[in-house]
A and B are shown apart, each in its own frame.
Chain A
Amino acid sequence: MTATATAPVDLPRVAEPRPGKSRGDRGKPNWIATVILLLGALYCLLPVFWVLTASTKDGSELFSTFTFAPSSHLWDNIVELTAYRDGVFWRWMLNTALYAGVGALLSTYVSALSGYVLAKFTFPGKSTVFSVLLMGVLVPGVILAIPQYFLFAQFGLTNTYWSVLLPQIISPYGIYLARIYAAASVPTDVIEAARTEGAGEMRIFSTIATSMMLPGLVTIFLFQFVAIWNNFLLPYIMLGDDGLFPITVGLNGLLNQGATVPALYTLVITGALLSVLPLIAMFLLLQRFWRVDLAAGAVKA
């Protein structure tokens, strides 16, 4: 709020020095940019703030008190959510952690291996493989969900952990990123030196190349982790057993109870709040890698 108030005062100063633009960036803060960024931050954080205040209200306060006025029922809501159908909510959280954690790890490994091979080896059909991959980047995963369902149904694999895990292991975008990172960060000389020393190809990849690609791999891991954590349609189509549901599908079910039963708004809101906490923690923990990596990418590309 204070930033918005001071902005008009400082405006003319920013507007005048045109040639020294890059110097201005380094010196005094650019107020227009700050204000725009603050507005952007407000735009992004307001819904989060809403979830935070709404999750402290009980059922009748939710629709009757002022939107942003907090109340004191957060703990009650969490207790109620935990009690709902013998704590099925926490089971959904664990499922999501499993899908996202294992899925993102496997996906990162597969991406790293394929990206490294595409960047460092020459073999017939390489450019075809890469073009197909690029096309894959353009196809949204949502479109594939139904065909994947029918494929899995043929093997009787629908409604299992596999049906959600397997399709998310291959990520064309991850492979594409890994290829770029491998090309930029693993020098061919190093690989050749390792070969001369007698190291096998798999050993070169797993001991030398992956450690050089590590910041890139963290990025791929985070991308994939968030993508799986937020994925809705694939598990929604694949799963029928609510003991296998991830958090997204489970919470949606609380809203769709059928016309004869009230939607469990407070539980859904509290659940939504709890479900973003691990993501926030994850980003705070891996932020360092993430930042290094963005900078590195910016210089190389």
Chain B
Amino acid sequence: MRKLLRAGTVAVLATTALITSGCSTDAGSGGGSGPVELTYWAWAPNLEKVVDIWNEKNPDIQVTVNKQDGGDPAVTKLLTAIKAGSGAPDLMQAEYQKIPTLVSADALADISDGAADLENHFAEGVWSSVTLGGDALYAVPQDTGPMMFYYREDILNQFGLSVPTTWEEYADVARKLHAADPTKYLGTFSANDAGWFTGLAQQAGASWWSIDGDAWGVEIEGDATTTVADYWGGLVEEGVIDNKPMYTPEWNSALNDGGQVGWLSAVWAPGVLAGNAADTAGLWKAAPMPQWGSEQATGNWGGSSTGVTTQSEHKEEATEFATWLNTDPEAIEALVKTANIYPADQAGADEALTEPPAFFSNQPDFYEVAAGVADTVSPFTYGPNVNVAFSAYNDEFAKAAEARTRTAFTDAVAAMQDITVADLKKSGFTVK
């Protein structure tokens, strides 16, 4: 019994400690006197080290990075906090495809007053995705993910195969490779990565949403997307391309043992390859994507921006920080070196990216290839219910990849279209 009493005392002490620590954090965000404290939800690795540079230079505006789960979970959490009326951070890492969703939920503030003269830093397509084509500015672009084709040079050489430059050649190489060694595939069709498929459709010329006055248009089931789905359905049906999702332990192990000879990925791929298949360093090479037509084009996979939330009490300071983080040469250099991102700021990218990533030391012109590819990103408009379209992709294409038939792939595109349109209508948007 005495023991229990003693335990009770410990509990009371701990509780008091909690109260005091709770108070001190509250006092910080109140901001009557002392420095302005900003919280920043982000998931880019080592971002806090870049933020440290800012904190050292700006004792009046201190930024704390709260690391979040990547992508969707952080956005869901932010939307919940916005709905609840409190609990949102001041700054938020937002992927480009989530910006319309966040704007229509009134989660991102218009920061065009504080950051108006940034337009010439960024490519047109990137800029339009943070302005949504209007006068407002909802976020400062941070990084982009122009898609590239990665391949194992040693294995292609071993079988005497050349690097495909068109999709026709890609299919051809895939067939020959799989025939020569049935354990090897030139790639996989991943039903888990909607962003990846969106990039492929974007390359073919698709733009899934459009704005027409106050009405939204949805054109997932258009010629471009259907062509892409039909192409991949054909390869999967033939069995020359794998149908397993990416980012699984199985896929990782195939990257290690040469089971996956190619990867249609984006400019940030070196980081992933170095993490998942460190022993294959120096064996991979990057090339522009295989092409549909004579004009060079590519899609975008990944990339994000820094937005200021509507709940922030210090929007001006937050905007100042977001601008510095993504356009200041020192910040960009730190982003490239410690956070391993491909900066959206074009001049900054040219300046900071002089040497290839360590994993691609065999390809000195890696960033020249990347810069060439980044210029050819096709325009694409995202809508307010990207999450619905993406989860429809996961559901429908999981079935299609399992079925391994060409028609299942085109049916999946049709289903995505129906689900996305139905959801827009249900949420009260006007659909054209």
Contact = CB atoms under 8 A, between A and B. Distances in A.
B87 A261 contact: no
A207 to B, nearest CB: 6
A153 B88 CA distance: 10
Contact of A102 (B11, B43, B48, B89): B11
A194 to B, nearest CB: 14
Interface in A230-251: 237, 240-243
Contacts of A153: 81, 84-87
A253 B71 contact: no
B70 A256 contact: yes
Contacts of B11: 102, 105-106, 109
A186 B275 CA distance: 60
Contacts of B118: none
Contacts of A243: 66
Given A64-B257, A150-B84, A162-B18, A258 B278 contact: no
A250 to B, nearest CB: 9
Interface of chain B, helix or strand or loop or mixed? helix
A106 B11 CA distance: 7
B247 interface: yes
Interface string A259-271: 1111111000000
Interface in B189-223: 193, 195-196
A259 B302 contact: yes
B21 A63 contact: no
Contacts of B394: none
A98 B14 CA distance: 8
A60 B77 contact: no
> Which of the listed residues A156, A240, A263 has the most CB atoms from chain B within 10 Å of its own CB?
A240
Interface of chain A, helix or strand or loop or mixed? helix
A145 B269 CA distance: 37
Contacts of B256: 60, 63-64
A109 B7 CA distance: 10
Contacts of B32: none
A258 B71 contact: yes
Contacts of B302: 258-260
Contacts, number: 138
A241 B89 CA distance: 9
Interface in A110-157: 146, 149-150, 153-154, 156
Interface string B54-88: 00000000001011111101000100110011110
Contacts of A98: 14
A59 B71 CA distance: 24
Contacts of B272: 260-262
B86 A102 contact: no
B56 to A, nearest CB: 16
B14 A63 contact: no
Contacts of A62: 249
Contact of A207 (B1, B48, B77, B87): B1
Contacts of A217: 4
B379 interface: no
Contacts of B253: 63-64
Contacts of A6: none
A63 B193 CA distance: 21
B33 interface: no
Contacts of A72: none
Interface string B144-176: 010000000000000000000000000000000
> Which of the listed residues A64, A153, A260 has the most CB atoms from chain B within 10 Å of its own CB?
A260
Given A153-B85, A158-B81, A260-B145, A206 B1 contact: yes
A63 B249 contact: yes
Given A159-B87, A162-B22, A256-B70, A102 B275 contact: no
Interface residues of B, number: 60
Interface in B276-306: 276-279, 301-302
B282 to A, nearest CB: 14
Nearest to B95: A258
B21 A206 contact: no
Nearest to B64: A241
Contacts of A214: 1, 4
A287 interface: no
A252 interface: yes
B77 A63 contact: no
B5 interface: yes
A210 B1 contact: yes
A153 B81 CA distance: 8
B291 to A, nearest CB: 23
B71 A206 contact: no
A257 B271 CA distance: 12
A230 to B, nearest CB: 18
B71 A261 contact: no
B73 to A, nearest CB: 6
A256 B275 contact: no
A238 B86 CA distance: 11
B37 to A, nearest CB: 12
Given A105-B7, A153-B85, A63 B15 contact: no
Contacts of B5: 206
B45 interface: yes
Contacts of B64: 241
B275 A241 contact: no
B8 interface: yes
Interface in A40-85: 59-60, 62-64, 85
A34 interface: no
A161 interface: yes
> Which of the listed residues B268, B274, B275, B301 has the most CB atoms from chain A within 10 Å of its own CB?
B275
10 contacts: A150-B84, A154-B85, A158-B81, A159-B87, A161-B22, A214-B1, A240-B66, A258-B43, A261-B70, A262-B272
Given A59-B275, A153-B86, A259-B196, 13 more contacts: A60-B256, A63-B249, A64-B253, A153-B87, A214-B4, A240-B87, A242-B67, A253-B43, A253-B69, A256-B71, A258-B43, A259-B71, A260-B272
